[in-house]
Amino acid sequence: MTAYEKQPKLALGLIEVGLTVAGVVAAITPLALWASWSETVFYIVLSVGCGAFLVFIGLAKVRGYLAGEPRAEADALGLKGLRQRMENWDQLQEQDRDTGRRQRSIKGDVGREFGFMLRVASGLILTAAAAFLGLWAMFEIYYGA
């Protein structure tokens, strides 16, 4: 690997780091706005948060250019390509029986997992309710009228 091949990878790596930092700053901004203690701090945090969003958008564009991601000139949003990929995906799903079988299996797994989560949640709710009821009864017996 030559130095010319390493430079784009290094640039993409630095852009990924910048995207991560900008994303974290943008995600923390609402909490920091809520916790700001003066009007000056509020506006500083607001400007840093807005700057993080702009930096994130700019780095994402630069990453797209460096990575060579294709983009149609006539279709600014890429909706034609998206529609074509959706049609291709649907055709693949209809033609491949094994994929359909896996999808049904996944749906069954989701149902079982959801049922398990509901049982655990209802058990926790009932346990908390019984603990609070017992605590209330104890206070009522010892300190009640």
- Whether the per-residue pLDDT at 121 is higher than 90: the answer is yes
Among the residues of the chain, which ranges form H helices? 3-35, 39-67, 79-95, 97-143
How confident is the model over 33-84, as pLDDT tens digits?
Answer: 888 888 999 999 999 999 999 999 988 888 887 777 666 555 556 677 778 8
Spatial distance between the Cα atoms of 101 and 99, rounded to a whole number of angstroms: 5
Residue 76 has what DSSP assignment? Answer: T
- Whether the per-residue pLDDT at 27 is higher than 70: the answer is yes
Region 84-113: mean pLDDT is 73
Closest among 52, 22, 51, 47 to 36, alpha carbons compared: 47
Q: What six digits make up the tokens of 139? A: 């206070």
pLDDT at 6: 64
Please check whether residue 48 is in contact with residue 28, taking contact to mean a CB–CB distance below 8 angstroms. Answer: no
Spatial distance between the Cα atoms of 42 and 33, rounded to a whole number of angstroms: 6
Q: Which residue has the tokens 């209802």?
A: 122
Under the banding of pLDDT at 50, 70 and 90, the label for residue 122 is: very high
pLDDT at 142: 87
pLDDT at 104: 65
Range in 9-13, 71-75, 140-144 with the lowest mean pLDDT: 71-75
Please check whether residue 104 is in contact with residue 93, taking contact to mean a CB–CB distance below 8 angstroms. Answer: no
Please check whether residue 117 is in contact with residue 125, taking contact to mean a CB–CB distance below 8 angstroms. Answer: no
Region 5-33: mean pLDDT is 84
pLDDT at 145: 63
